[in-house]
A and B are shown apart, each in its own frame.
Chain A
């Protein structure tokens, strides 16, 4: 990590201040603020694949439309006849009015994802309002209080999967600290001709329906040849005993999905132009229903400058993972005479989507092949790795700096509550942590910025036919690039972004310590395809009440083997990445399998808010109503 930081600082030419007050070239900054979108005709022509609307008043209509992404016609739901929906370009500080007409024969809605606004404008049927009835128009109006890259989508039924999603770009009121000469939205999504209700039913009837990457007999023989019969038996024992598959990565795979970039299939190809010497800002948005993407541009370093619309201290990476609903803004500096492939492979490597970033229309970059499919290890099940056979494990996972995961798991088993991250950095005042009382089980809140030190506790509701696993020794997900990405530095020399790399560009907005901590367990039964929070599905769950103005910590414990992107409406999720002074703000946070992650929330928005997994088919159950009063 320190290496990267140095690289960045030398790149920017800001040696010391670089880490805290980062600007990429101050002179270009002003020029850019005046030119929010490329005026270049060339660029305009090519960016026409996405429609853009700007101003203060917007008329949007949601309709059915016949589309063809696979060679077969299918019915989509679209906004203003385009898929993705038009880019909405707003200006920070202005009040926008959005008149949304529903021409479907069922209720619809639009949720402005990541936008801070009054609760009744949030667009969640049942919480914010009643939804938009067929034939009716709902007028949204709110003041835009932020800037950056966001998106919007339907929050009704499964309409999001069939096309009701589009980008939002908010230009900053102040000069943009991020400097660039040209920008493109890169919206990633997944399309299936199978109606979403049918996909959901298929998963309920056979949870492995879309998984064609299961272990086969030949894998077994390969393992026996490599590790011997006894070691193979031992390595398989846990999976066999738990009746789980180490190849269970995505619920819905490339077997069902065609992956899109700005509404184009890999065959159609989305293309974008740049000119000599330009810094290009790519605004990545994961608008998929169920697909987590891993993004890279072979031959180009990407400098991450923002996530979820919020600026972060620039960090240079080769690859990053995007949970569903997350956004990342990166700056790239492509070289004249070259073409580069923007490559987004899905998490289980059953499909990808690509774009061509090129200096001339006739230059087309080669598309790389996908990486090997990830295989889950014991650690991904939140199990102590002590005494386990490591034969099957991804040892790259253990290479995070100086951490010894075996020891961590052991320690968490013993003490249950120590924050190894915070402690290993030596940045914490150890005197303030009372080890004696921790061992006694007395509640101690971890310091703001460093995450939870609380004991992992499973609620009574987490036991029963609806729950198939509980992580008893979850790992800290902060430094983990995630399944399938862990060994990329060693194997391919690709630096993969982790959440630990994210530090806010702006100093922490609310520096208070959390007054309490809420531990939420992401739970489910994969086999029955049931999802819940703390063992209770949305329909049966009591709302979670926050007092207006309080600063609380949310600690998420992933008691499943799936990667869940958790989205909090209405308020920021201040991700605790190890620096209390520069806590980055996010709206959607990935919780790795069998892992924990913590963030702080300032309850500064009265009202009823949705909190849920953004995987579309997890959402109906893995959903909690939050009330701020």
Chain B
């Protein structure tokens, strides 16, 4: 599982806050707007569980936006992850945006840089999809697919299953990453929208490593599979 870098988290939050000052441009049917989404900030109930977050923000107009995506986990000073993506996003279909830009993995060390080519949007049957191809240095490649769904139990009580998987083109032994399917995680979160922009939740998250990645983990004496119960907050403005 992943870890968090609190300093990086703060920095990206501040960056997002600064960006939100740009909302007031305007007029016409297509004003310049900013949306900051703290999709997940959560903690496992067990004291060994990591604290993690997922943050996205955009600034832009109807069809063209700049996106910032960041995620991270913090378990302890040796076990942490922090990733930031900066993307240009362009609408290519009624429900789909093509996105391209850069991704920097600040943690764990050594850091990795990637070029990003992705697609984000709403698939038929209301699945929210974020799929991206990453091209790194020294011939490294990676792919990530995230799918999320929302079930309205009531107008404000929402159950949201989510699946995510990572694939890599070749081993990155220093970071314990193996080629092929590396890991899958599946979460189920139940949130209550006190207001649209503010929803605390409880959830459960299962994750498992596969293939060479699992092999690396076993060799280091780390867990290959884990389940945790989380409490967290989803918010946006």
Please tell me which one of the listed residues B31, B91, B126, B236 contacts residue A465 in the complex, with CB atoms under 8 A apart. Answer: B91
Binds A, one of B106-114, B146-154, B199-207: B146-154
| B-chain residues with CB within 8 Å of residue A530 when the two chains form the complex | 29-30, 62
Cα A241 to Cα B91 in complex, Å, equals: 19
Q: In chain A, residues 615-629, which have Cβ atoms closer than 8 Å to a Cβ of chain B?
A: 620-621
Binary flags per residue of B139-166, CB closer than 8 Å to A gives 1, else 0: 0000000000001111110010000000
- Please, which residue of chain B has its CB at the minimum distance from the CB of A618? B29
Known contacts A204-B33, A216-B152, A527-B122: does B28 contact A539 (CB below 8 Å)?
Answer: yes
Say how far B4's CB is from chain A's closest CB, in angstroms.
Answer: 27
Q: State whether the Cβ of A91 lies closer than 8 Å to any Cβ in chain B.
A: no
In the bound complex, residues from chain B placing their C-beta under 8 Å from that of A206 are: 196
Q: How far is the CB of B218 from chain A (nearest CB, A)?
A: 40
Q: Which residues of the other chain, A, contact B126 by a CB distance below 8 angstroms?
A: 240, 243
B33: which of A205, A465, A466 is its contact (CB, 8 Å)? Answer: A205
A465 with B196, Cβ < 8 A, contacts A216-B155, A241-B124 known: no
Residues in B neighbouring A215, C-beta threshold 8 A: 152
A534: min CB distance to chain B, Å: 15
Does B15 lie at the interface of the complex (its beta carbon under 8 Å from any beta carbon of A)? no
**A212 to B152 alpha-carbon distance, docked (Å):** 10
Q: Is the CB of B29 within 8 A of A538?
A: yes
Which among A201, A209, A531 is the interface contact of B31 at CB below 8 angstroms? A201
Q: What residues on A are CB-neighbors of B35 within 8 Å?
A: 205
Binding-face segment, B43-51, B80-88, B93-101, B178-186: B93-101
**Does any Cβ of B come within 8 Å of A303's Cβ?**
no
Give a binary string over B52-91; 1 marks a CB under 8 Å from any A CB, 0 the rest.
0000000000110000000000000000000000000001
Please measure, in the bound complex, the distance between the C-alpha atom of A417 and the C-alpha atom of B124, giving whole angstroms: 32
**CB-nearest residue of chain B to A525:** B94
Residues of B within 8 A of A529 (CB): 62
- The answer, yes or no, to whether A217 is at the interface (CB within 8 Å) is yes
B23 within 8 A of A: yes
A19 interface contact, C-beta 8 A: no
Q: Does A214 make an interface contact (CB < 8 A)? A: yes
What CA separation (Å) do A529 and B91 show in the bound complex? 13
Interface size grouping (class) on chain A: 35 or more
A458 CB, nearest partner CB in chain B, Å: 14
- CB contacts (< 8 Å) of B95 on chain A: these are 243, 468, 527
On whether the beta carbons of A201 and B23 are closer than 8 Å, the reply is: yes
Which interface residue of A216, A465, A528, A537 has the most chain B CB atoms within 10 A?
Answer: A465
Task: Count how many chain B residues have C-beta atoms less than 8 Å from C-beta atoms of the other chain.
Answer: 29
Which residues in chain A, 133-180, are within 8 Å of chain B measured between CB atoms?
A: none
Q: Is there contact, CB below 8 Å, between A465 and B92?
A: yes
Which residue of chain A is the closest to B236 with respect to CB atoms?
A: A205
A500 to B109, CA, bound (A): 73
Instruction: Flag whether A467 is at the interface (Cβ < 8 A).
Output: yes
**Residue of B63, B94, B125, B236 with most chain A CB atoms under a 10 A cut-off:** B94
Complex CA–CA separation, A213 to B156 (angstroms): 10
Contact indicator A468/B29 (Cβ below 8 Å): no
Q: Which residues of A contact B31 (CB under 8 A)?
A: 197, 200-201, 204
Task: Contact check, B29 vs A620: say whether CB atoms are below 8 A apart.
Answer: yes
B124 touches A240 (CB 8 A): yes
A131 CB to closest chain B CB (Å) equals: 12
Q: Which A residues touch B23, using CB under 8 A?
A: 201
B152 nearest in chain A by CB position: A216
Interface mask (B19-45 → A, CB under 8 Å = 1, otherwise 0) = 000010000111101010000000000
Q: In this complex, what residue of A is CB-closest to B58? A: A205
For A216, the chain B residues whose CB sits under 8 A away are: 152-155
For A468, what are the chain B residues with a Cβ–Cβ distance below 8 Å?
94-95
Q: Which residues of B contact A621 (CB under 8 A)?
A: 29-30
Q: For A209, give its contact among B91, B152, B159, B196 (CB under 8 Å).
A: B196
Inside 8 A of A202's CB, which chain B residues have their CB?
A: 196
Q: How far is the CA of A525 from the CA of B152 in the complex (A)?
A: 23
State A241–B63 Cα separation when bound (angstroms).
22
Chain A residue contacts of B92, Cβ below 8 A? 465
Q: Which among B124, B156, B196 is the interface contact of A243 at CB below 8 angstroms?
A: B124
Q: State which residues 184-229 of A face B: CB under 8 Å.
A: 197, 200-202, 204-206, 209, 212-218
Chain B hits for A539, CB < 8 A: 28-30
The reply to whether B94 and A527 contact each other, CB–CB distance below 8 Å, is: yes
In the bound complex, residues from chain B placing their C-beta under 8 Å from that of A205 are 33, 35, 236
**B93 lies within 8 A of A620 (CB):** no
**Other than the known A201-B23, A527-B95, A621-B30, what 10 A-B pairs have Cβ atoms closer than 8 Å?**
A215-B152, A216-B154, A240-B125, A242-B124, A466-B62, A525-B94, A528-B91, A530-B62, A538-B28, A620-B28
User: Which A residues fall within an 8 A CB radius of B?
Assistant: 197, 200-202, 204-206, 209, 212-218, 240-243, 464-468, 525, 527-531, 537-539, 620-621
Ordered by A's residue number, 21 sampled pairs between the chains whose C-beta atoms are within 8 Å are: A201-B33, A205-B236, A212-B155, A214-B155, A215-B152, A216-B155, A217-B151, A217-B152, A243-B95, A464-B94, A465-B94, A465-B96, A466-B62, A466-B94, A467-B94, A468-B94, A527-B94, A539-B28, A620-B28, A621-B29, A621-B30
